[in-house]
């Protein structure tokens, strides 16, 4: 009996030590240990996709039933709007041609010209603190190469910031969302000479879907309702990605200001995200 | 041949449970329960397995469920395995000295282990902040813990009831059959008896 207990204690201690080593080694960005999940990801990915697709189909079918009447009414107004838009498109096509000519002439670059934007499907959602990253169906096989100096910005279909790639195995990658307390980004108020400040996730605000700005320069002119975009400083995120809107500014007695930001992306309904592959020019 | 059949049944049933619970927890949760908090199904499952079938099984199921958790939503690899392994082990012995094993004890174990699980996570957040200049006060973290953990424990307890019934009627061992090789503890009562 005593021998059985001793063997069990030895096993538990040994496994614990191995796991502690695993935790330490896998916490380094770009750690090869993250590839340990590749075989299981390869099995789980199609199963999860199938379940997700089935769930989406059921939701879609139900919504199509309930939205039928609403769609009929919308269709009428959309037909009218469509006619107006066709007219506008024709005008914009002409304007677009002019823009391309000018762009070539002045050697201008599109904002995200150097980035390849690749779509990925969100496979899992978070589960509380320390288990709070999203998993997407894109990995090193798709060109994601995460290291301690290299990561990728992740945006939604409207090019609004969601987070960054934390780690990747062969077929999947983990996304650190902007709400997460380990996330920080250099942000700028979206106006000419807008103030630059640091925005980060906050452990108290994240359940409300909000972020925090905690390094506001004393001279910075910020107001509630200001829109924030990425500043491009730091080299990870390209300049100009929409982050969110300032909804609250607090001034403590020492003159230190903090602000609360509501991200513009809708985290509750994320199903597809876009990874900006490439490097800052 | 008999042992292949026996372990085959266990393996298949555990694999089905783990796969389904993982899918529900991580893939369909937003679709099924559109709220921020949901029961920690893997933790509940591991505690029930540890309590029903003993420490060895609780530990192994905890390691597998933890690996899946680390793989799907963990910041690092190994933390989920460590936590769920200890949850499975704890469930095999917690309160057994004072109570006979029954559903009440399992509920009590789920409440206690869930509480300490949340507390441990708070401790980790305090000790290892992800941003180097980010310093939390313990009071701030405990306030957060108290605010969220009551609801989380309630949800875990609610999720335990259907899971206990499922494992009782559709578990890895046929109903009423005592597990061979299951170690007897000091009370000689290391067998699931009533629900």
Q: What is the CATH number of the domain that holds A269?
A: 2.40.10.350
- What is the spatial distance between Cα A175 and Cα A134, in angstroms, rounded to a whole number? 5
Question: What chain A residue is nearest to B129 in terms of C-alpha separation?
Answer: A182
A133 and A251 both lie in a single domain: yes
Contacts A–B by Cβ distance under 8 A = 133
Of A179, A253, A252, nearest to A209 by C-alpha is A179
Question: What chain A residue is nearest to B118 in terms of C-alpha separation?
Answer: A129
Q: Do A8 and B23 touch (CB under 8 A)?
A: no
Of the candidates B31, B38, B76, the beta carbon closest to that of A26 is on B76
Chain B environment of A132 (Cβ under 8 Å): 73, 75
Beta strands in chain A (DSSP E): 116-124, 134-136, 153-155, 161-168, 173-177, 184-189, 196-201, 211-215, 227-230, 242-251, 257-263, 272-277
Q: How many Cα atoms within 13 Å fall on the side-chain side of residue A35?
A: 10
Tokens 């107006």 sit on residue:
A84
Dihedral angle over CA of A40, A41, A45, A48, nearest 10: 70
Q: Do A132 and B75 touch (CB under 8 A)?
A: yes
A36 and A130 both lie in a single domain: no
A98 in any annotated domain: no
User: Which of B15, B55, B76 to mutate to test binding with chain A, by most A CBs within 10 Å of its CB?
Assistant: B76
User: Which of A8, A9, A12, A130 to mutate to test binding with chain B, by most B CBs within 10 Å of its CB?
Assistant: A130
- What is the spatial distance between Cα B191 and Cα B188, in angstroms, rounded to a whole number? 8
DSSP string of A17-53, one letter each residue: HHHHHHHHHHTSTT-GGGGGGHHHHHHHHHHHHHHHH
A105 in any annotated domain: no
Q: Where are the domains of chain B?
A: 2-169
Chain A contacts in chain B segment 155-184 (CB below 8 A) = 183
Tens-level pLDDT at each residue, chain B (195 residues): 556 666 788 888 899 998 888 888 776 655 555 555 678 889 999 999 998 888 888 999 999 999 888 888 777 888 889 999 999 999 888 877 777 777 888 899 999 999 888 888 888 877 777 666 667 777 777 887 777 778 888 888 988 999 988 888 888 887 666 554 454 444 444 444 444
A102 in any annotated domain: no
Count of positions (residues) in chain B: 195
For A53, the domain range is: 2-64
How far is the CA of A118 from the CAs of A167, A173, B27, in angstroms? 16, 13, 21
- C-alpha distance from B173 to closest chain A C-alpha (Å): 23
Tens-level pLDDT at each residue, chain A (281 residues): 677 778 888 888 999 999 888 888 887 777 777 777 777 777 777 777 777 777 777 767 777 777 777 777 788 788 878 877 887 887 787 777 766 666 665 554 455 667 778 888 887 776 667 777 888 888 888 888 887 777 888 888 778 888 988 888 888 888 888 888 888 888 888 887 788 888 888 888 877 888 888 878 888 788 888 888 888 887 788 888 889 999 988 887 777 888 999 998 887 777 788 888 875 44
Of the candidates B30, B68, B77, the beta carbon closest to that of A22 is on B77
- In a 10 Å sphere around its CB, with 0-12 CB exposed, 13-18 middle and 19+ buried, how is residue A112 labelled? middle
Contacts for B168-177: CB closer than 8 Å, 24+ residues apart: B168/B192, B168/B195, B170/B13, B171/B13, B171/B52, B172/B9, B172/B10, B172/B13, B172/B14, B172/B53, B173/B10, B173/B53
Query: pLDDT tens digit string along A215-238?
Result: 788 887 888 888 888 888 877 888
Q: Do B75 and A27 touch (CB under 8 A)?
A: yes
B73 lies within 8 A of chain A by CB: yes
A130 and A258 both lie in a single domain: yes
Our count of domains for chain A comes to 2
Chain A environment of B144 (Cβ under 8 Å): 203-204
Question: What chain A residue is nearest to B184 in terms of C-alpha separation?
Answer: A1
- C-alpha distance from A70 to closest chain B C-alpha (Å): 22
CATH architecture type of domain B2-169: Orthogonal Bundle (1.10)
B119 lies within 8 A of chain A by CB: no
Chain A environment of B122 (Cβ under 8 Å): 129
- C-alpha distance from B28 to closest chain A C-alpha (Å): 7
- Strand, helix or coil at A258? strand
Query: pLDDT tens digit string along A27-71?
Result: 777 777 777 777 777 777 777 777 777 777 776 777 777 777 777
Chain B environment of A21 (Cβ under 8 Å): 78
What confidence score (pLDDT) does residue B4 get?
Answer: 67
């Amino acid at each position: 009996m005593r021998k059985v207990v001793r063997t069990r204690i030895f096993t538990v201690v040994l496994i614990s030590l191995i796991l502690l080593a695993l935790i330490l080694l896998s916490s380094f960005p770009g750690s090869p240990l993250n590839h340990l999940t590749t075989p299981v990801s390869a099995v789980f990915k199609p199963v999860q996709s199938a379940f997700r697709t089935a769930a989406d189909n059921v939701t879609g079918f139900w919504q199509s039933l309930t939205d039928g009447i609403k769609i009929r009414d919308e269709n009428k107004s959309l037909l009218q709007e469509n006619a107006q838009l066709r007219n506008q498109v024709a005008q914009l096509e002409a304007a677009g041609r002019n823009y391309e000519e000018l762009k070539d002439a002045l050697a201008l670059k599109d904002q995200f010209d150097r980035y390849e934007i690749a779509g990925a499907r969100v496979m899992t959602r978070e589960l509380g603190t320390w288990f709070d990253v999203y998993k997407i169906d894109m990995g090193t096989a798709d060109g994601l190469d995460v290291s301690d100096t290299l990561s990728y910005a992740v945006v939604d279909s409207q090019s609004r910031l969601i987070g960054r790639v934390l780690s990747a195995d062969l077929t999947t990658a983990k996304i650190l969302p902007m709400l997460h307390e380990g996330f920080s980004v250099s942000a700028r108020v979206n106006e000419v000479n807008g103030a630059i400040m640091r925005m980060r996730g906050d452990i108290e605000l994240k359940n409300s879907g909000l972020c925090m700005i905690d390094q506001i320069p004393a001279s910075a002119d910020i107001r509630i309702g200001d829109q924030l975009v990425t500043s491009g400083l730091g080299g990870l995120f390209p300049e100009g990605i929409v982050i969110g809107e300032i909804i609250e500014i607090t001034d403590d007695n020492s003159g230190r200001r903090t602000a609360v930001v509501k991200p513009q992306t809708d985290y509750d309904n994320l199903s597809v995200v876009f990874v900006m592959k490439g490097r800052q020019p | 041949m008999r042992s292949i059949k026996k372990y085959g049944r266990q393996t298949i049933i555990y694999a089905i449970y783990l796969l389904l619970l993982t899918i529900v927890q991580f893939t369909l949760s937003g679709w099924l329960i559109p709220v921020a908090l949901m029961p920690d199904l893997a933790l509940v499952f591991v505690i029930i397995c540890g309590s029903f079938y003993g420490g060895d099984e609780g530990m192994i199921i905890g390691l597998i469920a933890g690996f899946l958790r680390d793989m799907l939503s963990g910041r690092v690899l190994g933390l989920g395995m460590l936590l769920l392994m200890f949850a499975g082990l704890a469930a095999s012995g917690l309160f057994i000295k004072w109570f006979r094993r029954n559903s009440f004890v399992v509920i009590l174990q789920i409440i206690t282990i869930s509480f300490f699980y949340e507390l441990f996570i708070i401790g980790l957040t305090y000790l290892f902040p992800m941003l180097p200049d980010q310093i939390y006060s313990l009071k701030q973290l405990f306030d957060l813990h108290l605010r969220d953990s009551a609801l989380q424990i309630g949800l875990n307890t609610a999720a335990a009831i259907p899971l206990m019934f499922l494992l009782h009627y559709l578990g890895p061992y046929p109903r009423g059959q005592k597990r061979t090789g299951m170690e007897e503890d000091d009370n000689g009562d290391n067998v699931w008896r009533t629900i």
